[in-house]
């Protein structure tokens, strides 16, 4: 029996070693603790915290309807969220930072990196934290460092996404203005109660209101405008499905913004939805900063591509933004446009 | 009596239980030792050719590493057994590297096809291809039919933010898949250490194509130029009898020292005469330790002459280099090799309706030159396609080491120029009896200290000039002489600036070893660490002798099936007999 005990002991010992080796079998000699940047299931991520070296921070949180909020207030751009989640999923080591450059890279990452934290539902601690540094010289990789259990790793890596040539640091930013969703009006016709368009010439202003028969056109005093083609009104309302601004103006000095706002708006468009919430946008001409000229070489009085706009959201936020004529020309109509178009149609 | 019997019964039972436990334990131990052996990297290299021992230059270079070499191997996933074997060999080689270099070698096996999204997968494939990695398309039999699998038998080696592609698969004309994989395994050590060596270099060695004597132009050498550019600083240089064309002078007055501007010069198929001054410049480049690859025709013969006529004449060709080459230990003869092992050319054999009917015939003037021996320059090399190749003789100084690199086949002969070259020979059945010369040399490597062609021939004022810095003898250096200029020439599409890869035969769609041969020549000439020696290692492929196997197939089938069962039964019988004997002893 004593002999058997030795055999059994050896067998158990070997079994333990075998199990150890089976779990230790790796396809990589790199320490997985240091290279484990990727998050396989990004659908479980509910919060992303980004802090830039200049002190700016941002928290993005997933809502039950899968939209994301910036600092629990404003809606975030879905395309940017998709990119950050895709990056978190596909990110992989391109190569370890050479030993000769390691110290310098760590210093740079300590001073000038962006910290990113990913959280899953119900966990107070982030499941992944990393520091994103600069791009490599050939712009095909990005220096990064992982943090585990609150401790920064001592080994930075050059990270990339296989099949993508470029750097990743531009995907992680904490500028609220850049994260902001760019929608002004995204309403289906059925969701619209009233559209009010004020032009500089008040006789050209109009209101479109929901009626029992659909929608109807009124002048600014509330008097119905007769003989308007319903199809034209329907087409106009349809355009409020996707009206976006180009970007928040966080470059212009306050004096310029004040000067713009002191002028009379070019158009004021207010849309009230069926729940009574109103979104208002005021558009202002933008000076011809780029000095574009017409065919005869005369400079245009205003920018021919863009305008300034002030957007008043129903939640109480106000944005000063750039908008493009290509978008706004669709909704900046005058009352006479409807009348003339209807007349032409009837003549035909 | 009953008590004794009961006692004996109990004792037997106890022994039986104990023995069963012991048997199960030992069986488990054996099983686990077996499993463990696949994880623990312990190996005694008892192979005849020391296939698991790294070469000394490899070890030396690995010991010199001063930063991490990171290797991404893309050979991971589910693929045929041969590639699994290759993948295992890659891992073993890298483990051997790691054993020497420790943490300075890191590697990772990656499956580039491991992406759910087809778009992502294709983007990765594209990226790898752009980096110089070459995939293999394999048809794999599966339960629901045959599927095409893309395998990447390659790796990317990173060192100090630089990367270098490594392709493992060595396919050669006439090799079976097993032999190809074996060749690839043989070359693994060289491929990896060559990549590491290239990455470790602070500056790229420089290679210059000599121009100005009717040499092959940029377009005719475009493919090899591109290939060389990935590892060398390549340029073209016109000598124009200028003293500073190949060498530069550092310092002033009495302190002038001469330095070569290039590591290697390539003289590719010159068509006109070299002036004595240009020859002198080349000679002094060699005397200063420079290396040269000479690709010189001994006979003037071109296929263009046969486009309008069935017959042309190959005349002796001279470039005024004969004395220079003779001094360096070789003579390119004014002869043409005819070889039964030759590349084919298309010949119009008739008409089918309005269409001309062409057939391919081996053109004996285009010999497929074979590697001679297993010198690093030619080991694992496909046949090299030559066009109107001359023979080369080694002559003169015996202190120079001369190695024949390429030869004709066993059935060849040579004709002295002037020689009548006629397409008519294609109509005749070749008589093997007249192809009675074997292995005619066509390329030679010469190594050692060369003596200047101008030694004892110069007037003192030139010989003693500090500006010229004349040298009588070179330090140990190397030169390669090839008796055919077309070996380095890529085909060019007429009317456009497009060119075919070097060695590619557009008629047979076959790629010969020309490009690899030239690359190996330059690698060897530039190699001062001896790494190229690693290329020459050969692993024996111990394949089943199919003829013998067919003869004794049944015997071995029965032997392999019955022997294990027989041994188990025999063991069981011995064990039972022993146990019986032991039990009777105890009672």
User: CA neighbours within 13 Å on the CB side: how many for A288?
Assistant: 10
CA–CA gap between residue B471 and residue B450 (Å, rounded):
11
Strand A92-96 with A157-160, pairing: antiparallel
Residue in B29, B110, B120 nearest the CB of A10: B29
Token couple for B569:
């039964």
Report the gap between the CA of B71 and the closest CA in chain A (Å).
Answer: 8
Do A162 and B123 make contact, defined as CB atoms within 8 angstroms?
yes
State CA B330 to chain mean position distance: 25
For residue B454, with 0-12 CB atoms within 10 Å meaning exposed, 13-18 middle and 19 or more buried, which class applies?
buried
Angle between helices B81-101 and B56-64 (to 10 degrees): 60
CA angle A136, A138, A142 (to 5 degrees): 30
CA distance A118 to A305: 39
Give the chain B residue whose CA is nearest to the CA of A162: B124
State the DSSP H helix or E strand holding residue B210, giving kind and residue range, or none if neither.
strand B206-211
Instruction: Give residue B117's pLDDT band: very low, low, confident or very high (50, 70, 90).
Output: confident
pLDDT of residue B201: 86
Q: Which residues of B315-331 are buried (b: 16+ CB within 10 A; e: fewer)?
A: eebebebeebbebbbbb
B108 closest CB neighbour out of A18, A28, A137: A28
> What are B397-430's pLDDT values in tens digits?
678 999 999 999 988 999 998 988 888 888 778 8
The Cα-based distances of B73 to A36, A38, A43, B70, B229 in angstroms read 19, 20, 30, 10, 24
Nearest CA in chain B to A23: B39
> Is A14 part of the contact surface with chain B (CB cutoff 8 Å)?
yes
Cβ-Cβ contacts under 8 Å between A and B: the total is 98
* pLDDT above 80 for B101: yes
Give the pTM: 0.76
CB contact under 8 A, B32 and A11: yes
Two tokens, residue A150: 């609150």
Q: How many CA atoms lie within 13 A of B284 on its CB side?
A: 29
Q: What is the pLDDT of residue B144?
A: 66
For chain A, how far is it from start to end, CA to CA, in angstroms?
110
* pLDDT per residue of chain A (348 residues) written in tens, 0 to 9: 566 778 778 878 878 877 776 665 567 888 888 899 999 999 999 999 999 999 999 999 999 999 999 999 999 999 999 999 999 999 999 999 999 999 999 999 998 999 999 999 988 899 999 999 999 999 999 999 999 888 999 899 999 999 999 999 999 999 999 999 999 999 999 999 999 999 999 999 999 999 888 899 999 999 999 888 889 999 999 999 999 999 999 889 999 999 999 999 999 999 999 999 999 999 999 999 888 998 899 999 999 999 999 999 998 999 999 999 999 999 999 999 999 888 887 764
Contact A183, B145 (CB under 8 A): no
CB contact under 8 A, A162 and B124: yes
What residue in B sits closest to A140 (Cα-Cα)? B161
Spacing of C-alpha A138 from chain mean position: 28
Minimal Cβ distance to B28: which of A11, A22, A162: A11
Q: Which of A11, A96, A165 sits opposite B25 (nearest CB)?
A: A11
Average pLDDT, chain B: 87
- Please, where are the H alpha helices in B263-400? 276-287, 322-327
Distance of CA A285 to the CA centre of its chain: 26
CA distance A323 to A332: 12
- Each residue's pLDDT tens digit, B489-527: 999 987 778 899 999 988 888 889 999 999 999 999 998
Judged by CB atoms closer than 8 Å, whether chains meet at A101 and B161 is answered as yes
User: Alpha-carbon distance B427 to B349, whole Å?
Assistant: 10
- Residue A25 touches chain B, beta carbons under 8 Å: yes
- Give the span between the Cα atoms of A70 and A87, in whole angstroms: 19
Burial class (CB in 10 A: 0-12, 13-18, 19+), B308: exposed
Is the N-terminal amide bond of B418 cis, ω within 30° of 0?
yes
ipTM, two decimals, is: 0.80
Q: With contact defined as beta carbons under 8 Å apart, do B378 and B406 qualify?
A: yes
Query: A309: exposed, middle or buried (C-beta count within 10 Å: 0-12, 13-18, 19+)?
Result: buried
């Amino acid at each position: 029996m004593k002999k058997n005990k030795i055999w059994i002991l050896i067998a158990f010992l070997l079994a333990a070693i075998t199990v150890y080796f089976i779990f230790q079998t790796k396809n990589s000699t790199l320490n997985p603790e240091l290279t484990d940047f990727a998050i396989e299931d990004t659908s479980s991520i509910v919060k992303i915290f980004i802090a830039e070296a200049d002190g700016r921070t941002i928290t993005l949180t997933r809502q039950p309807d899968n939209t994301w909020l910036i600092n629990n207030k404003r809606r975030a751009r879905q395309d940017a969220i998709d990119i950050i989640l895709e990056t978190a999923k596909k990110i992989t080591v391109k190569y370890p930072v050479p030993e000769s450059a390691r110290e310098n890279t760590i210093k740079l990452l300590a001073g000038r990196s962006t910290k990113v934290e990913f959280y899953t539902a119900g966990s107070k601690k982030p499941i992944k934290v990393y520091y994103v540094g600069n791009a490599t010289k050939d712009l095909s990789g990005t220096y990064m460092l992982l943090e585990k259990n609150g401790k920064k790793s001592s080994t930075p890596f050059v990270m990339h996404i296989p099949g993508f040539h470029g750097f990743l640091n531009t995907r992680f930013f904490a500028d609220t203005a850049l994260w902001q969703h760019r929608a002004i009006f995204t309403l289906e016709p059925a969701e619209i109660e009233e559209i009010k368009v004020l032009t500089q010439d008040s006789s050209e202003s109009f209101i479109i209101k929901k009626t029992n028969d659909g929608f109807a056109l009124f002048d600014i005093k509330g008097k119905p405008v007769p003989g308007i083609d319903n199809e034209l009104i329907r087409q106009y309302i349809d355009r409020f499905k996707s009206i976006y601004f180009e970007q928040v103006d966080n470059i212009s000095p306050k004096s310029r913004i004040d000067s713009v706002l002191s002028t009379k708006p070019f158009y004021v468009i207010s849309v009230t939805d069926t729940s009574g919430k109103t979104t208002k946008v005021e558009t202002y001409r933008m000076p011809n900063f780029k000095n574009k000229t017409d065919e005869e070489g005369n400079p245009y009085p205003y920018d021919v591509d863009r305008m300034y706009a002030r957007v008043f959201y129903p939640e109480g936020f106000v944005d000063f933004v750039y908008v493009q004529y290509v978008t706004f020309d669709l909704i900046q109509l005058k009352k006479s446009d409807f009348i003339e178009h209807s007349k032409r149609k009837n003549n035909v | 009596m009953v008590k004794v019997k009961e006692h004996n019964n109990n004792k037997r039972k106890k022994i039986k239980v104990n023995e069963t436990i012991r048997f199960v334990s030992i069986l488990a131990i054996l099983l686990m030792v077996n499993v463990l052996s696949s994880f623990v990297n312990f190996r005694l290299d008892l192979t005849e050719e020391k296939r698991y021992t790294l070469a000394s230059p490899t070890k030396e270079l690995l010991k010199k590493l001063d930063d991490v070499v990171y290797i991404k191997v893309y050979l991971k996933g589910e693929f045929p057994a041969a590639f699994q074997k290759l993948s295992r060999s890659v891992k073993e080689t890298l483990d051997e590297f790691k054993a020497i270099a420790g943490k300075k070698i890191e590697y990772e096996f990656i499956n580039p096809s491991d992406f759910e999204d087809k778009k992502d997968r294709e983007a990765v494939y594209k990226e790898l291809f752009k980096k110089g990695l070459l995939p293999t398309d394999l048809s794999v039999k599966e339960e629901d039919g045959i599927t095409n699998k893309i395998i990447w038998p390659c790796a990317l080696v990173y060192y100090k933010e630089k990367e270098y592609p490594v392709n493992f698969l060595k396919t050669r004309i006439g090799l079976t898949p097993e032999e190809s994989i074996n060749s690839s395994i043989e070359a693994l050590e060289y491929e990896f250490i060559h990549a590491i060596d290239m990455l470790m270099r602070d500056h790229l060695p420089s290679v210059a194509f000599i121009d100005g004597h009717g040499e092959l132009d940029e377009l005719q050498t475009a493919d090899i130029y591109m290939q060389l550019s990935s590892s060398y600083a390549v340029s073209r240089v016109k000598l124009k009898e200028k003293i500073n064309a190949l060498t530069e002078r550092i310092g002033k007055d009495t302190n002038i020292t001469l330095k070569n501007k290039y590591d290697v010069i390539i003289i590719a198929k010159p068509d006109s005469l070299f002036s004595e001054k240009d020859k002198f410049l080349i000679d002094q480049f060699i005397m200063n330790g420079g290396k040269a690859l000479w690709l010189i025709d001994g006979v003037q013969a071109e296929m263009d002459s046969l486009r309008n006529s069935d017959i042309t004449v190959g005349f002796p060709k001279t470039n005024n280099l004969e004395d220079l080459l003779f001094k360096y230990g070789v003579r390119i003869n004014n002869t043409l090799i005819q070889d039964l092992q030759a590349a084919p050319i298309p010949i119009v054999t008739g008409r089918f309706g309005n269409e001309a009917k062409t057939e391919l015939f081996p053109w004996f003037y285009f010999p497929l030159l074979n590697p001679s021996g297993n010198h690093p320059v030619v080991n694992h090399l496909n046949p090299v396609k030559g066009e109107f190749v001359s023979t080369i003789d080694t002559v003169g100084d015996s202190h120079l080491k001369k190695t024949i690199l390429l030869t004709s086949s066993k059935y060849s002969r040579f004709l002295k120029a002037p020689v009548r070259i006629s397409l008519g020979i294609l109509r005749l059945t070749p008589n093997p009896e007249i192809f009675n010369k074997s292995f005619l040399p066509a390329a030679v490597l010469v190594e050692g200290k060369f003596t200047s062609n101008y030694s004892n021939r110069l007037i003192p004022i030139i010989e003693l000039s500090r500006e010229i810095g004349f040298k009588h003898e070179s330090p140990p250096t190397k030169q390669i002489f090839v008796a055919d200029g077309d070996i380095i020439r890529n085909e060019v599409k007429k009317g456009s600036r497009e060119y075919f890869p070097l060695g590619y035969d557009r008629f047979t769609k076959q790629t010969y070893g020309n490009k690899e041969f030239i690359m190996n020549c330059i690698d060897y000439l530039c190699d001062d660490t001896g790494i190229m020696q690693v290329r020459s290692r050969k692993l024996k492929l111990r394949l089943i002798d199919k003829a013998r196997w067919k003869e004794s197939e049944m015997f071995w089938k029965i032997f392999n099936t019955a022997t294990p069962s027989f041994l188990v039964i025999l063991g069981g019988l011995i064990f039972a007999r022993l146990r019986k004997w032991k039990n009777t002893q105890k009672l």
